[in-house]
């Protein structure tokens, strides 16, 4: 029997209250894990925007992205949000923070050095964004 069949047959035998509790826990876990991913897109235009953004993460600006891909500000805003469910600015910030989490985990560089290396103008702005995403300061996350 496949694992999907085992899960399905097990679910039939579970009490409805248990399923509700499991669903609530799963939703809670997803809320905690959700910030640690970046959306992708099958739309070639949005994929190009993402590629340019990630390739120039430290100093990329909306103007540069629009110029590189050849779209207007309105088109970037509208199409990026439609494809990803987030703004381009939120995507850039999340990408920077994901890179920062890797650097915090894999290196002994200072928090200030990592903040500037991923494109933040100040360590305080980096710290606020990091806490918003992870619920912890960069120093605590590193431990």
Give, for all 143 residues of the chain, the pLDDT tens digit: 443 443 444 444 545 666 666 666 555 555 555 567 899 999 999 999 999 999 999 999 999 999 999 999 999 999 999 999 999 999 999 999 999 999 998 999 999 999 999 999 999 999 999 999 889 999 999 88
Calpha distance 139→83 (Å, rounded):
34
Give pLDDT, residue 35: 62
Q: What is the DSSP string of 17-66?
A: HHHHHHHHHHHHHHHHHGGG-----S-HHHHHHHHHHHHTTTT--HHHHH
Give pLDDT, residue 12: 47
Give pLDDT, residue 84: 95
Give pLDDT, residue 6: 37
Sign of dihedral through CA atoms 127, 109, 104, 91?
Answer: positive
């Amino acid at each position: 029997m496949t694992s999907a069949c085992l899960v399905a047959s097990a679910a039939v035998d579970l009490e409805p209250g248990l399923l509700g509790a499991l669903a609530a826990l799963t939703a809670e876990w997803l809320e905690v894990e959700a910030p640690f991913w970046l959306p992708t897109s099958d739309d070639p235009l949005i994929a190009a925007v993402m590629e340019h953004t990630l390739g120039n993460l430290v100093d990329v600006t909306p103007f540069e992205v629009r110029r590189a891909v050849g779209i207007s500000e309105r088109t970037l805003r509208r199409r990026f949000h439609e494809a990803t469910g987030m703004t381009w600015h939120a995507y850039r910030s999340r990408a920077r923070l994901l890179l920062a989490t890797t650097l915090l985990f894999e290196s002994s560089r200072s928090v200030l050095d990592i903040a500037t290396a991923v494109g933040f103008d100040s360590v305080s702005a980096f710290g606020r964004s990091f806490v918003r995403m992870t619920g912890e300061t960069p120093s605590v996350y590193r431990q």
